[in-house]
Structure 1
Amino acid sequence: MRFDQHTVLLLVRPADAPELPRDAADLLQDAHLAHQAGLVEQGHVLAAGPFLDPDDERLRGFAVLSVDPEMARELYANDPAVRAGRLVVRVASWLVPEGNVRFESVPVPRSMLEAAAGD
């Protein structure tokens, strides 16, 4: 059997994440979304999104990337939320039977305002 290999990335809130005032946290979230949208536009991120009600409340988001794990770490090292210490990344390679998973190109939000517009 043949397999497709993808890089998956978990965004995790560390226990020692700095507390921010609401307006600063909102600005940082917008910067995070803009960074991630840029990675989508460049073809590095195939799919990404937040978790809702995870068993571990530190789990914040998930992404599937078209690049190797080392490049994924480098790309997300530039994420404003990672640089600010609000998120850390966990990266792994993911094998699935060839052709089992397909990704479509769809628009992604660049801000919380754009994300809310879909509600």
Structure 2
Amino acid sequence: MKITIFSTLLALLSFSSFAQAPREFEMKDGDTTYVMKQYFMGFLMRVPDKPELDSAKVMEIQLAHQNYMSENAKTGALLVAGPFGDDGDMRGIVIYDVATKAEADSIISNDPAVKAGRLAIDVKPWWAAKGSTLK
């Protein structure tokens, strides 16, 4: 199934530019039909020259960041978010269910941790079968 999905995506994306591709399409794999959907996955990154702040200000920004994520989850724009379990440069991921990359970028640019220069984010279009869940 994975090779079939990947081949179908490649064919779809080579047929038209990524911005013009539909956000959803059906794909058959044997007797199963999947509805593939485009989401936007963001990788939260450490900022090398982030501003030096006292611990109270860092905590204030972190709480505002978490509240902002919760609000985006309530609206349905944010599907999944979480930090990585190490102290690497990649700090965490987010997955947005929005119409365009520009919309995802707009949401991200208003994140208090991004606005404060504490985090940066790299957003990529990402395809998954609609209704996929973590197990």
Name the CA distance, whole Å, in 2 between partners of 1:34 and 1:19. Answer: 22
* Structure 1 residue runs of 4 or more that deviate by more than 4 Å after TM superposition: none
2:91 corresponds to 1:60 = yes
Which structure carries more strand by proportion? 2
The aligned counterpart of 1:106 is none
SS of structure 1 residue aligned to 2:108: helix
1:110 alignment partner in structure 2: none
CA distance in 2: counterparts of 1:90 and 1:70, whole angstroms: 12
Answering whether residue 74 of structure 2 is matched by residue 48 of structure 1, we say no
Q: Between the two structures, name the one with larger relative contact order (CA 8 Å, sep ≥ 6).
A: 1
* Corresponding position: 1:70 with 2:70: no
Distance 2:97 2:104 in 1: 9
Matching residue of 1:94: 126
TM-score between both structures, scaled by the size of structure 2: 0.68
Aligned-partner SS, 2:95: strand
| RMSD of equivalent CA atoms | 1.7
How far the C-alpha of 1:13 sits from its partner, in A, is 1.2
Larger Rg: 2
- What is the CA distance between 1:4 and its match in structure 2? 2.5
**Paired residues for 1:1-119 under 5 Å:** 1=5, 2=27, 3-53=36-86, 57-67=88-98, 68-96=100-128, 98-99=129-130, 101-102=132-133
What is the SS of the residue equivalent to 2:51? coil
The count of aligned residue pairs is 100
Structure 1 residues 44 and 100: alpha-carbon distance in aligned structure 2, compared to 1, 3 A threshold = closer
User: 1:100: how far off?
Assistant: 7.1
Structure with the higher helix share, 1 or 2: 2
Task: Please report how far the alpha carbon of residue 21 of structure 1 lies from its aligned counterpart in structure 2 after TM superposition.
Answer: 0.9
Q: Which runs of 5+ in 2 are unaligned?
A: 6-26, 28-35
